Amino acid sequence: MFDANPSLRAVSTAHLAEVISVAGPAFLTELGLPADHAMVKIAGAAVGAAIGEYLSTVPATGVSKENHQEFMRYLRAIVTAAQARKTR
């Protein structure tokens, strides 16, 4: 869908950037790491890429409850892995 309509991808990317700017403080709180910690950037990039890819595939594949739950588990695993870095 985005390949056929690049302007739609641009709008989606802009919305995702807005979500990230609003959710950023909550993400930092959830991670429990300082903003300049390397894992914040790594986890943020992984979450952002995963959400972007998920949103780009949904129009073609639809959203099933099972796929959505699996995706949410994946996001939680990214956050959990970053949180684990606090204790090392």
Amino acid letter for position 65: K
Domain assignment present for residue 22? The answer is yes
Report residue 39 CA to chain centroid gap: 14
pLDDT of res. 37: 92
pLDDT of res. 63: 84
Domain assignment present for residue 39? The answer is yes
Which of 37, 32, 49 lies closest to 84, judged by CA?
32
Specify the 3-state DSSP secondary structure of 73.
helix
Domain assignment present for residue 36? The answer is yes
pTM attached to this predicted model: 0.72
Range of the domain at 70: 6-87
Residues of the chain with pLDDT under 50: none
As for how many domains the chain has, the answer is 1
Domain assignment present for residue 28? The answer is yes
pLDDT of res. 4: 60
Domain assignment present for residue 1? The answer is no
pLDDT of res. 3: 60
* CA pair distance 30, 57, nearest whole angstrom: 27
